């Protein structure tokens, strides 16, 4: 049987074993497009006896990917399957995987944007309504495209985070970190602006079909340009102000540097 004739679940696992990102991503999207049958297939595969033995080769990656898929397809089914697995002869290493994936389950989406993209907001974020308001507004900006985005997760920003946001290439999802704690008016505005830009940047990776997870400089530049373009549509007055400041500031800076060199020569 050729890859094109295989079921989406089989193509997805094949992509995991070979490390072929595009195969995993495309199969994942097809799973979501046929949710009812996919839920049955994934549930059946997870509840097999394969996970009672010590993980070998890519089996750990298979198991975590199947669990993540079931979370997206049907979170209630995920909870039921996990309850059964915990009563079964599950290998301890796979049990650790269950605990890890379970931490990412946030229940029902806080809201939906675009053509039905679920937005999950972490319980540790207090002003969830403010987050919902921002995400909805940003998603309606002229020129933005969320087609194919499967999920948006908003989590609390912590010092140990090395990112403000990232695009999950395999699953076509976006994770945003949200600043918490007290901040002054200007700082709060600036933090919100950075999150908005990061959101557009990650959408830019998605729209650009980038598969390297932000590791290629040209793709980063392309995502940045996309974010700048959408931000100009979102905040036209602010964008005009920045352009004016740059237009005035560059000649002034050149004049100051030239004046400094003249004085130095004298």
CA–CA separation, 17 vs 200, rounded Å?
A: 31
On whether both 67 and 124 belong to a single domain, the answer is no
- For the record, the structure tokens of 36 come out as 């009812």
| Domain containing residue 72 | 3-102
Buried b (16+ CB within 10 A) or exposed e, 67-76: bbbbbbbbbe
Task: State the sign of the Cα–Cα–Cα–Cα dihedral 45, 50, 52, 53.
Answer: negative
Residues 121 and 154 sit within 8 Å (Cβ to Cβ)? yes
- What pLDDT does 241 receive? 61
Confidence of residue 150 (pLDDT cuts 50, 70, 90): confident
pLDDT value at 262 more than 50: no
Strands, E assignment, 64-170: 111-113, 117-121, 151-156, 165-168
On whether both 87 and 11 belong to a single domain, the answer is yes
Domain boundary residue among 102, 122, 146? 102
On whether both 74 and 98 belong to a single domain, the answer is yes
Query: Residue 118 belongs to what H/E stretch?
Result: strand 117-121
Nearest to 228 by CA among 149, 152, 151, 141: 141
18: in domain: yes
130: in domain: yes
Q: Which of 115-129, 154-168, 173-187, 195-209 comes out lowest in average pLDDT? A: 154-168
Nearest to 73 by CA among 108, 113, 39: 39
On whether both 186 and 154 belong to a single domain, the answer is yes
**Domains in the chain, number:** 2
CA–CA separation, 38 vs 57, rounded Å?
A: 24
The predicted-structure confidence for 225-245, as pLDDT tens digits, reads as follows 999 999 999 988 766 665 655
On whether both 81 and 42 belong to a single domain, the answer is yes
153: in domain: yes
Domain boundary residue among 102, 127, 148? 102
What is the pTM for the complete model shown?
Answer: 0.71
Domain boundary residue among 56, 83, 102? 102
| Mean pLDDT on 121-126 | 86
Confidence of residue 202 (pLDDT cuts 50, 70, 90): very high
């Amino acid at each position: 049987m050729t890859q094109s004739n295989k079921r989406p679940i089989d193509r997805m696992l094949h992509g995991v074993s070979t490390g072929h990102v595009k195969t995993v991503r495309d199969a994942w999207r097809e799973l979501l497009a046929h949710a009812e049958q996919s839920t049955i297939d994934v549930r059946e595969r997870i509840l097999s006896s394969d996970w009672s033995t010590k993980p070998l080769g890519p089996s750990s990656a298979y198991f975590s990917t199947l669990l993540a898929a079931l979370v997206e397809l049907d979170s209630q089914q995920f909870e039921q399957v996990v309850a059964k697995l915990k009563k079964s002869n599950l290998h301890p290493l796979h049990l650790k995987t269950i605990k890890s994936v379970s931490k990412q389950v946030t229940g029902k989406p806080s809201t939906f944007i675009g053509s039905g993209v679920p937005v999950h907001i972490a319980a540790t974020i207090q002003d969830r309504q403010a987050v919902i308001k921002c995400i909805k507004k940003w998603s309606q900006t002229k020129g933005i495209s969320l087609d194919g985005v499967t999920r948006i997760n908003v989590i609390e920003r912590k010092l140990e985070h090395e990112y403000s946001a990232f695009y999950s290439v395999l699953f076509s999802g976006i994770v945003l970190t949200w600043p918490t704690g007290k901040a002054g008016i200007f700082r709060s505005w600036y933090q919100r602006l950075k999150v908005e830009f990061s959101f557009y940047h990650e959408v830019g990776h998605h729209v650009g079909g980038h598969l390297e997870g932000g590791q290629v400089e040209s793709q980063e530049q392309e995502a940045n340009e996309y974010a700048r373009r959408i931000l100009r549509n979102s905040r036209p007055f602010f964008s005009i102000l920045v352009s004016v400041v740059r237009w005035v500031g560059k000649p002034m800076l050149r004049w100051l540097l030239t004046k400094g060199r003249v004085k130095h020569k004298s």
